Amino acid sequence: MPLFKEELRHFISCVLEEDIGSGDITTIATIPSTANLRAEMSARETIVIAGINIAERIIHTVDSAISIEILVQDGIQVTGGNTLMRLEGNARKILTAERSALNILQHLSGIATLTRQYVKEIEHTNCRLLDTRKTIPMMRKLAKYATRMGGAMNHRMCLDDGILIKDNHIASVGSVKNAIEAAKNYGATASAIGITVECDTLEQAAEAATAGADRLLLDNMSLDMLRIAVADFGDKVILEASGGVTFDTIKEIAETGVNFISVGRITQSAPAIDIGLDYLK
Q: Which residues are catalytic?
A: 99, 134, 166, 198, 219
Strands 83-90 and 275-280: unpaired
Spatial distance between the Cα atoms of 256 and 237, rounded to a whole number of angstroms: 15
Q: Residue 78: enclosing H or E segment and its boundaries? A: strand 77-78
Separation between Cα atoms, residue 223 and residue 218, nearest integer Å = 11
CB atoms within 10 A of CB 86: 16
DSSP for 180-223? HHHHHHHT---STT-EEEEESSHHHHHHHHHHT-SEEEEES--H
- For residues 267 and 132, the answer to whether their CB atoms sit within 8 Å is yes
Can you tell me the distance from the alpha carbon of 158 to that of 225, in angstroms, rounded to the nearest whole number? 29
CA–CA dist 196, 108 (Å, integer):
29
| Region at 70 (left for phi over 0; alpha for psi -120 to 50; beta for the rest) | beta
- Strand runs labelled E in 133-194: 163-165
